[in-house]
Structure 1
Amino acid sequence: MTISAEIAGFAPALLAGGSVTLTGLRPELNGAWHVTSARHRLGQGLTTTFEARKGQVK
């Protein structure tokens, strides 16, 4: 399972190869995710966009 998300603000800890724990979502989305890509952008404000994969890291 994969997920893509954009969050407002700068999240410097979100880096490709790292992990993120999601909470407060649907039960199947909560838990540990392996970050496969991350982009930090400055436009009208700072945003962080990331993609992640749930499950074992291959």
Structure 2
Amino acid sequence: MLYIGFTNTLGKLNIALVQMELKFLEEYLKLNPADASARQRLEHRKDDLASFARHAGHAD
């Protein structure tokens, strides 16, 4: 039997990890504002989080 809530849990974990990475990158860029690769990664992850928000759904 498949635990249908597992999909919801994985989605929540994925979002939490992206949020943690965003916070880390924001703090990192406060100390290293000239790091272009970190700034690019921050913008990419912001787009990912926005995509998660647009396509969010729960399996019931």
With structure 1 as the length reference, what TM-score do the two structures score? 0.23
TM-score w.r.t. the length of structure 2 is: 0.23
Which has the bigger relative contact order, CA under 8 A and spacing at least 6?
A: 2
